[in-house]
Amino acid sequence: MIYTVTFNPAIDYVVHTDAMQVGMVNRSHGEKIYYGGKGINVSVILKELGIPSRALGFVAGFTGAAIEKGVQEMGIATDFVHLESGFSRINVKIKSGEETELNGQGPVIDDAAVKALFWKLDDLQDGDTIILAGSIPNTMPSDIYEKILAYLDGRQIRTVVDATNDLLKNVLKYKPFLIKPNNFELGELFGVTLHSREEIAAYAGKLQEMGARNVLVSMAEDGALLLEENGTCHNCGVCSGTVKNSVGAGDSMLAGFLAGLEQGDAAYALKLGTAAGGATTFSEGLAKREEIDRLLQQLGVV
């Protein structure tokens, strides 16, 4: 089973409008609601690709109840910790030529709630995968990623971390199965600017020396690179299409890659991840299976 963790899930309220006028009444010409958070995004794409997962995290109030119900209605199993006070956040995304976002704060996550999450981690079995993705709410311990990996250390559980800067560096000692920086984040980790695939592969190798087993690097219009723990380096080009969406592409790539590992080898997983990330970029929301399959054919996979 694959488990995803979303510490601060949200209702994403997407509003389409003409040019925004600050201080004036603006009217939309279309709205959509999505249930957001990086872990939830991964679960949605896994479901689209036929891979079951269980969504963990924290929900609160009427918005939390809506998130939980909405995720379950998509066919995704949930096991959220229910907070006693506050409410899960609403993120407002205004699309009026340019995209403007106003992200909510979210509820306070106290020590008792964190302990409840750790109790749920006891349900993981050998061979399971857990995905930690995104930033940490300021009401939680800043080292929560480390605490979770330390708690699971010594068990046969695949840990996947999609984070940046020290949040990523500090977990490498626990030898995560997979990490997924983009090329800019990879450079930031070492204070350098990376210009070529050779440089990116070299610095991905440095992350392996620090403990990461497999390193997946997304490179936007330059495609993606995977450095396997056996030293094999795979490259994949980019899919072609019209960019419509900037949210969830990295999560979709991660989900596609993990689904690909369930169905084939690392080279296939890299292509499925690339197709899934591209399909979300070319869609209004998260990718659908039909678009993923179409882009997979672009990459030469039938």
> Catalytic one among 12, 18, 251, 293?
251
Query: Which two tokens mark 263?
Result: 């169905």
Q: Is 251 a catalytic residue?
A: yes
Contacts of 112 (CB under 8 A, 6+ apart): none
Per the document, the length of the chain is 302
Task: Compute the distance between CA of residue 132 and CA of residue 135 in angstroms, rounded to an integer.
Answer: 9
Task: Compute the distance between CA of residue 214 and CA of residue 176 in angstroms, rounded to an integer.
Answer: 8
Longest dimension (CA), the chain: 59
Q: Tell me if 27 sits within 8 A of 152, measured CB to CB.
A: no
List, by residue number, the catalytic residues: 251
